[in-house]
Chain A
Amino acid sequence: MLFLGLTAFAILRLRALFAVVMLSSVYSLVSAALLVHLDAVDVAFTEAAVGAGISTVLMLATLALTTRHEKEPTHTSLLPLVVVFLTGIALVYGTLDMPRFGDPSAPIHHHVAPKYINDTGSEIGMPNIVTAILASYRGFDTLGEVTVIFTAGIGVLLLIGAFIREPDGNTIQTMEHHLVLRLVTKLLIGPILLFALYVQFHGDYGPGGGFQAGVIFAAAFIIYALVFGLETARRVVPGRVIRIMLAAGVLLYGGVGVISLFFGQNYLNYSVLGSTAVAGQHLGILLVEFGVGMTVAAVMVSTYYVFSGQIPPISDEEW
């Protein structure tokens, strides 16, 4: 926690924006470690993948478009500091009333949580209770999350996507500067994609699931685009395919719910999808997590395409 406080303070006070981006990546990594310490491994996985990985890449891509140093503030911020300080004190005073962390008699451990912990084995039959809660017991919330991610992706595409520079034919990519990177990237993309599939489908048994897998899947394409150039990457995975994947993920999730309606049950009741209720739950969670993974991967890749499509390509003479 001390590291987190120090890093946050340094992010606030530094003016060199490159250092700020690196420090925010460090902040995400330290909070992922803190979450592992608190035994919330799924969340830590997602935080490390998104915060320390994709988010840093996107911010660096933005930084290539703007200046390297933050401008001096034009007014002192004493009054906002006082307001934030007072609000912080009020919030801390509010938390003094809450039960101690991990207290077994706290209300949160009495209502729904014991039901989930007790019933996951018999009703859903998978060891990872977090995935069971995420995809089945609280399936509606996750549908909302996927829709929010989808909307964010569309928002980015609408706002910035119209201004992607068309590649002009006269930028040369020389080989000898980047030989090591090209080789290592070619070696690594296969294992990264394989690991993404592993995380996606192993989410029922260990930490993992759709969100983390989508981010790792996107990371493979982003590293390809970084090393081999954006035009090559856009030929491998064109924008059209990304947009179709973006919508297909949400469609798959919603479609699974509609199929349950056709069987006469509630929306998103997976028990009817298989021969037994447990098999139906397994199939439903599999499909739903796959939909989440597709949408997340497509949003990350399309956001990266849009962000780095803005950067003017640097020809070799300008180095």
Chain B
Amino acid sequence: MIQLIIDSFSWALLMGGAFFVLIGATGLIRLPDFYTRMHGAGITDTLGADLILLGLMLQAGFTLVTVKLFLIGAFLLITSPSSSHAIANAAFTAGLNPQVAPDDGPDGDGS
């Protein structure tokens, strides 16, 4: 019974992770601007990978494999957002400005 609960949690986490990886990949291709695409890459790297790792940890139970997966997950949690930050920062300091929407007038008609 408890095994069924753990299995279903792990399935939910794995499915969620795969879902976010797909969303991130779609965003990486379809979004218009560099910074929005970086958001897509960050979702894949951080959220997708960590959810998948959590799901795998539940599958592995209380063994050494879980500790190793946890360490990998912690490492990814620290390095993926900093690498996304590094790329976006490098682009900004090199002069690439984000694409902004045209200013609307005070009553919101768009000019």
Q: What are the residues of chain B within 8 A of A191 when measuring CB–CB?
A: 75
Q: What are the residues of chain A within 8 A of B89 when measuring CB–CB?
A: 177-178, 180-181
* Minimum Cβ distance to chain A for residue B49 (Å): 14
Q: List residues of A whose CB falls within 8 A of some B CB.
A: 177-178, 180-181, 184, 187-188, 191, 319
B26 touches A (CB below 8 Å): no
A191–B93 Cα distance when bound, in Å, is 30
State whether A319 touches B94 (Cβ < 8 A).
yes
A184–B82 Cα distance when bound, in Å, is 7
A188–B78 Cα distance when bound, in Å, is 9
State whether B85 touches A187 (Cβ < 8 A).
no
A230–B82 Cα distance when bound, in Å, is 21
Q: List residues of B whose CB falls within 8 A of some A CB.
A: 75, 78-79, 82, 85-86, 89, 93-95
State whether A180 touches B93 (Cβ < 8 A).
no
Knowing A319-B93, A319-B94 are in contact, say whether A180-B75 is a contact too (CB < 8 A): no
State whether A184 touches B79 (Cβ < 8 A).
yes
A56–B39 Cα distance when bound, in Å, is 23
Knowing A180-B85, A181-B86 are in contact, say whether A187-B93 is a contact too (CB < 8 A): no
Question: Can you spell out 15 A-B residue pairs with CB atoms less than 8 angstroms apart?
Answer: A177-B89, A178-B89, A180-B85, A180-B86, A180-B89, A181-B82, A181-B85, A181-B86, A181-B89, A184-B79, A184-B82, A187-B78, A188-B75, A188-B79, A319-B93
A35–B75 Cα distance when bound, in Å, is 23
Q: What are the residues of chain B within 8 A of A187 when measuring CB–CB?
A: 78
